Amino acid sequence: MRHRFLVALGSNVRHPRFGLPRQVLRAALAALEDAGLAVDAMSPIVDSAPLGPSSRHYANAAAVISTRLEPEEVLDLLQAIEHAFGRVRRGARWGARVLDLDIALWSGGSWFSERLVIPHPEFNDRRFAVAPAARIARAWRDPLTGLTVGQIEARLTRASPLS
């Protein structure tokens, strides 16, 4: 059975071989394909302000991939690609990183294990992840809320009334 995954991509550190964060994301897309994942769609790359202690802006994008692999196998593959790009999983949360690949949603609904939670627990609150995803997967639904990615984006971007 083929599964589809919505993957959020981010970078805010120059890579010695691939260059600036936007080029890192393009190289990561090629690495996904080289690893045997079919890239069905790739969003435009957007720039976003950092969360937490990092002072560097991010390049963010989203990709829809398809594969016969199960969610934890995809996680292993994504983490191997991050590692190949120089990602080290230690240090400050939300710190600078050359590459971040997160599974946001998948076609099988929700997934919960010690290593992986789908939908990504913070996806619905992260405009920098939702906006690119909405460009390529607007009709995908969060299995926990029932909202489409387009509806999630609308909630994140609508103006708040003044108090």
The DSSP annotation for 78-114 comes to HHHHHHHTT----SSTT---S-EEEEEEETTB-EE-S
Residues known to be catalytic: 87, 97, 100, 102
DSSP E strands, 12-157: 38-42, 46-48, 58-67, 100-106, 111-112, 117-118
